[in-house]
Structure 1
Amino acid sequence: MQHVKIPQDRIGVLIGEGGETMREIEAKAEVRLDIDSENGSVAVETVGDPVSGLKAPDIVRAIGRGFAPDAALRLLEDEMMLFDVVDIDAAARNTNDMKRKKGRLIGEDGRTRELMEELTGADVVIYGSTLGVIGAPQEVDAVRTAAEMLLDGAPHGAVYSFLEEKHNEMKHQGMEYHRFPGGQS
């Protein structure tokens, strides 16, 4: 049994309307979820396939970090799918710096975040003081590197060039996209 803590405002998303999302996660990941809506603590108990069961805490964490349940459930698509979190707060000196760095990651009208998704094939969510990524290892690595470049103050143009380069490398290596630009799967 593993315990995961998620923000209070994400409990409803995890449970879903009438418990629908919770039941879907339990069925697909072969786990039992015990959600304490008072403190945001979620106990995850594997009741079936241990490999799927190992992914369940990350599915819960991903929903807690702002991902829609469908995106979080992508972690079950194959064993190579990863969930990663970049802590924006850790790179910031103070509250104003955190807001500025978060703004750099989002970009004007969300364009930087969108480009990270489009050029890597990963799902990217910025929630609170974190940037969350779901995707194949190369996709997640490219987004993490791009995010760290932006947090370190690299110009957006340099980061976009890096992402274009990674996009072309992945295409050249014949890496399948796990999602299509624009969000359709």
Structure 2
Amino acid sequence: MSAAICLLGYAAAVAVVAPRVLTRLTRRGTAPRLGVVAWLAAIGSVVAVTIAAAAIAAVDLARAARPGNPLTEACEHLANLLLGDHPGSPARYGTAAVATAAVVATGVAGIRLARNLSASRRSTHGHARTARLVGRPIVGRDAVVLDAPQRAAYCVAGRPHAIVVTSAALDVLDDR
């Protein structure tokens, strides 16, 4: 169980510290590919380590169970060990409360994630639609030009996507 705790500690540390450090290192955009690789490595390591910690905890929990017992009895056994090996109702109620809290927390997190993803999708679709309505298309390119004094070029993800370039950015570019 200590390996799972160490892995979760690593994941928490990287999830808290990496964004601050990587934001400072990649803010200027001097090496964008390296910056993307660094961000993806940090994100990927946190996800991989969290999955590994969950797998290690599940294996440890399965080993704690006596052969033939279901997972809930393994949780009760773990709760009994934590309570000083006093079998009975406190361990059962504690196990049920922890399991219920975990299920509710997972459900709430899933609902929030679905709502956020849906809102983000609506926002990007609206942004792409607005850019296509307001801007003028570039002949021979799948892009839209917006009249603006600031230089900017970006892509709005989604279906259909929109590549947006401002007129100020086009003025700076050569024909090639």
| Shorter-chain TM-score above 0.5 | no
The TM-score, its normalising length taken from structure 1, stands at: 0.21
Comparing both structures, which one devotes a greater share of its residues to strand? 1
The structure with higher relative contact order (CA 8 Å, sep 6+) is 1
Comparing both structures, which one devotes a greater share of its residues to helix? 2
The TM-score, its normalising length taken from structure 2, stands at: 0.22
